[in-house]
Structure 1
Amino acid sequence: MTGQNEAVLACENVVRRFGGVVALKNVSVSVSRGEIFGLVGPNGSGKTTLVNAVTGFYPPQEGRIFLNGQQINGQKPFRIAAMGVARTFQNVALFHGMSVLDNILMGRHIYMKPNPLASFFYPWWARKEEIEHRRKVEEVIDLLQLAPARDEHVDVIPLGLQKRVELARALCAEPKLLVLDEPMAGMNQEEKEYMVRFILDAQEALGLTVLIIEHHMDVVTALCDRVLVLNNGQEIAQGPARETIANPLVVEAYIGKPRNAA
């Protein structure tokens, strides 16, 4: 495993239980700076549980998690977010009734420090900060080609576009680690191809380190440098994307053992 100081994310022997169910069993993984790392496995294999452990929603009962060498398990989710972890969700979690632009602006909230004096002296004090936030948002809007939809309400735009807005909001947080939970879920083939391109463009332009959960193997091989495959809460394979997905244990986990001929 990559050393803690060389890795953006390092998980060591992570265990997470829910009652009598062991959802993660001594899972270890390391994600290097600038890498796109995939979490793969059948439904219920522990992928989202591992992400929830990393982001602080379900801290592990055993093991350790490091972000840039600093141990973070036990920290609250908002503190982990402030340390540079941004996330999108499998089910789109946008603010309904708000525009595309307003949703993306919410990604800057961790940098916004409420100050009554700044509000009172807005023309001299707070305006400069607001302009800087909007400059960053406009850069992300341009990167993800969202300008035509900026004033639309998120309730009325297509799912593929909603997913892109959620990605834009996460990018506006300037994450050290970007966590994508099934960003292609519910998309058609054309929408998936667009999203793959936008993730790669963002990774190149912003130097992102990405942890991605994904079921579509064509997406995994197009995006990921390395993958970890989980089944029943434990690692069954880890390594370069194409050869790991071709591992017989991985194929068996997805489609089962072949039947013997009668």
Structure 2
Amino acid sequence: MSCVGIERSFGGLRALKGVDIEVRRGEIFGLVGPNGSGKTTMVNVMTGFYPPNKGRVHLWDEDITGMPPAAIARLGVARTFQNLALFKGLSVLDNILLGRHVHMRPSALASLFYWVWAEREEIANRRIVEEIIDFMQLQDIRDEPVETIPIGLQKRVELARALVAEPKLLILDEPMAGMNQEEKEYIARFILDAREERGVTILLIEHHMDVVTAICDRITVLSYGEVIAEGEPRTAIAQPRVIEAYLGQRAAARVGSRA
């Protein structure tokens, strides 16, 4: 996916100011920055929730600027959200099965010949869901109400729901928020495995810099809606503008004086 010259304003607030981003096939790409830097707004532009005021968005070779979210999802883009978006009252299995909705296209003819076509489609969808349940190691809680399991497992369920859509590009918005160190390590491993074993390109928004430097191939750093650094993670986050954005000007000066 590539984004060129993206601008987005909300009233008098310029949330994005000419942002360029390129996510290459097969990589884990990090989008980082302090709170309010424009990360989630950028993802919402990429996925069609906000049309850009200026700029273009391409999914590989296709211009998807201004497409609605459902159309972009059908092209192979899935995402998780900063706040959990699971359906309380449903089981883990049912929540994951909902991720197959982009592949379910009932028609009058399919309904008429249900036992020939519709049942076959349901079996195919169930097979993929079962594969992902095994992949994400959720077998033991598959029938549990999703609201009764710990947040670390809920995050894993949300990732599973995104993966059953069989995305080409998976966008993860702070998938490790609220997790302890062990839970973070589990999710990091599943993200790496999704890329290696399932061929998924991943865009990761994350505040935990230890995770970003450990698993991302490249990153872009935003601050106040502008790109202030990009490239290899350890090199990018060590740049003075990035340190200043996170720690403030005086702290950045102290870091620079010790370097």
TM superposition score normalised by structure 2: 0.95
Q: CA deviation at 1:128?
A: 1.4
Looking at structure 2, the residues matched to 117 and 152 of structure 1 have their Cα atoms a distance apart, in angstroms, of: 35
CA distance in 1, matches of 2:88, 2:229: 40
Measure, in 1, the Cα distance between the counterparts of 2:213 and 2:12. Answer: 35
Matched AA of 2:149: I
- Which residue of the partner structure matches residue 32 of structure 1? 24
Distance 1:36 1:215 in 2: 15
In 2, the alpha carbon distance for the partners of 1:127 and 1:55 equals 31
**Equivalences for residues 154-165 of structure 1 within 5 A:** 154-165=146-157
The residue type equivalent to 2:227 in the other structure is: E
CA separation in 2, counterparts of 1:44 and 1:80?
25
Aligned counterparts of 2:142 and 2:37: Cα–Cα separation in 1: 37
| Correspondence 1:153 to 2:175 | no
Counterpart of 1:135 (choices 127, 141, 156) is 127
Large movers: runs of 4+ above 6 Å? none
Equivalent of 1:233, from 225, 234, 245? Answer: 225
Provide the rounded CA distance (Å) in 2 between the counterparts of 1:73 and 1:129.
31
TM superposition score normalised by structure 1:
0.94
Partner of residue 177, structure 2: 185
CA deviation map 1:150-189 (0-9, x unaligned): 1011010110101110100100111111000000011111
Summarize the alignment of residues 85-96 of structure 1 with structure 2, pairs less than 5 Å apart: 85-96=77-88
Task: List alignment gaps of at least 5 residues for structure 2.
Answer: 255-259
Deviations 1:14-39 (A, max 9, x none): 00011111100010011110011001
**Whole-angstrom CA distance in 1 between matches of 2:117 and 2:228:** 55
Structure 1 residue 202 corresponds to structure 2 residue 194: yes
Look up the SS of the partner of 1:212 in the other structure: strand
What is the aligned partner in structure 2 of residue 121 from structure 1? 113
Corresponding position: 1:214 with 2:209: no
Structure holding more helix per residue:
2
| Residue aligned with 1:196, SS | helix
The amino acid that maps onto 2:194 is A
Number of equivalenced pairs: 253
AA paired with 1:34? Answer: G
Q: In the TM superposition, what is the alpha-carbon distance from 1:123 to its structure 2 partner? A: 2.8
- What CA distance in whole angstroms lies between the structure 1 residues aligned with 2:153 and 2:23? 28
CA apart distance, 1:121? 3.4
* Structure 1 unpaired stretches of 5+: 1-8
Deviations 1:175-209 (A, max 9, x none): 11100000001111111011101111111111111
1:79 paired with 2:71, answer yes
Q: CA deviation at 1:73?
A: 1.2
Corresponding residue number in structure 2 for 1:101: 93
Q: One-letter code of the match for 2:247?
A: I
Structure 1 CA distance, aligned partners of 2:73 and 2:114?
Answer: 28
Q: Which residue of 1 aligns with 2:102?
A: 110
3-state SS of paired residue (2:23): strand
1:170 paired residue number:
162
**Cα distance in 2 for residues equivalent to 1:28 and 1:174:** 26
Shift of 1:120: 4.4
Return the alpha-carbon distance in structure 2 between the equivalents of residues 115 and 121 of structure 1. Answer: 10
Percent identity of paired positions between Structure 1 and Structure 2: 64
The residue that corresponds to 1:17 in the other structure is 9
Q: For the Cα contact (< 8 Å) 2:93–2:142, is it kept in 1?
A: yes
